[in-house]
Amino acid sequence: MSTNDGPSSGCLQNSSAPFTLTVLSWTGPEKGLLRVWDVRRRALTGLRVRMQSPSLAFSPDGRLLAAAVPDPGFQVRDARSGRIVARLPTDDLERSVAFAPDGALLATGQYDGTVQLWSTDSWRPVGPPLEGHEGRVLSLDFSPDGHTLASSSEDGTLLLRNVDTQKPVGSALTVDADTFVSAAFTPDGSRLFAVSADDRAVRFEASAGAWKRHACLIAGRDLTTREWSDALPNRPYRTVCRLR
């Protein structure tokens, strides 16, 4: 979550593993100062780092903190010492970051609308930049099982990608045209919520079963063998809709 509406405003990112909360101030006497809170003790840790970033993300184990910084490039720091572990170079301004649930990948989003996956072992790109948005990528979120990545953009769209194939899952979904949009999965991964800067909020069903039921309801029939071959060329044909 990020705001910039007052002296105490900042970018907040929580991490469930070490029970910590990171606060990055945008304004006031501590402008550009990153601090980490221990939520259980309700006290600040000793980490103090001067930086500017619109997006922060803890690794699942709480040991790393990724940030979009105006170097250009993304930074990955040790969450306790603040030491820079890796610098991820880019050719455009940075906007968003997110770790996969197993910590093996880091997703980064840029102002040019592209998304890049990085290996957290080698800190090298995994595959080419992923396109699909017409504006800066404002938020990134992995599904809890790590198989799907949701990205949202200032063009008002939401895009789902299969992490293994890096291919889009369907076409981009318009939440609120040409408006800043942010999205996140529910903890169980069954739904995806998206909100826009114009106060529009949309809930999407994110399970394959829900998509199948919706598709069957709209079509009112099963796929023909030709439609199945076009959509699923490597799978044997079978009926999937149970219509009454």
String of b and e for 90-127 (b: at least 16 CB within 10 Å)? beebbbbbbbbeebbbbbbbbbbbbbbbbebeeeeebe
More confident residue, 93 or 85: 85
Select 10-212's CATH number: 2.130.10.10, 2.60.40.1840, 3.40.1010.10, 1.10.510.10.
2.130.10.10
> What residues pair up with 174 in beta bridges, in sequence order?
157
Q: Tell me the three state secondary structure of residue 210.
A: helix
Task: Give residue 79's pLDDT band: very low, low, confident or very high (50, 70, 90).
Answer: confident
pLDDT tens-digit profile of 35-45? Answer: 777 778 888 88
Task: Report the distance separating Cα 106 and Cα 25, nearest Å.
Answer: 24
Q: What integer is the mean pLDDT of 236-241?
A: 81
Residue 231: what pLDDT? 66
pLDDT tens-digit profile of 130-182? Answer: 998 988 999 999 999 999 999 999 988 888 999 999 998 877 888 888 889 88
Strand order in the sheet with 73-78: 56-58, 64-69, 73-78, 84-88
More confident residue, 161 or 34: 161
> What residues pair up with 108 in beta bridges, in sequence order?
97, 116
Residue 211: what pLDDT? 61
pLDDT at 20 over 80: no
Q: Are 117 and 101 in contact (CB under 8 A)?
A: no
Residue 59: what pLDDT? 92
Query: What average pLDDT does the structure give for the chain?
Result: 80
pLDDT at 7 over 50: no
pLDDT at 11 over 50: no
Residue 208: what pLDDT? 62
pLDDT at 82 over 90: no
pLDDT tens-digit profile of 195-217? Answer: 888 888 888 877 666 666 666 76
> What residue ranges do the domains of the chain occupy?
10-212, 213-244
Q: What integer is the mean pLDDT of 227-242?
A: 76
Closest CA to 104 of 90, 124, 83, 118: 118
Residue 232: what pLDDT? 67
Cα-based distances in Å from 24 to 103, 211, 234:
23, 38, 49
pTM over 0.85: no
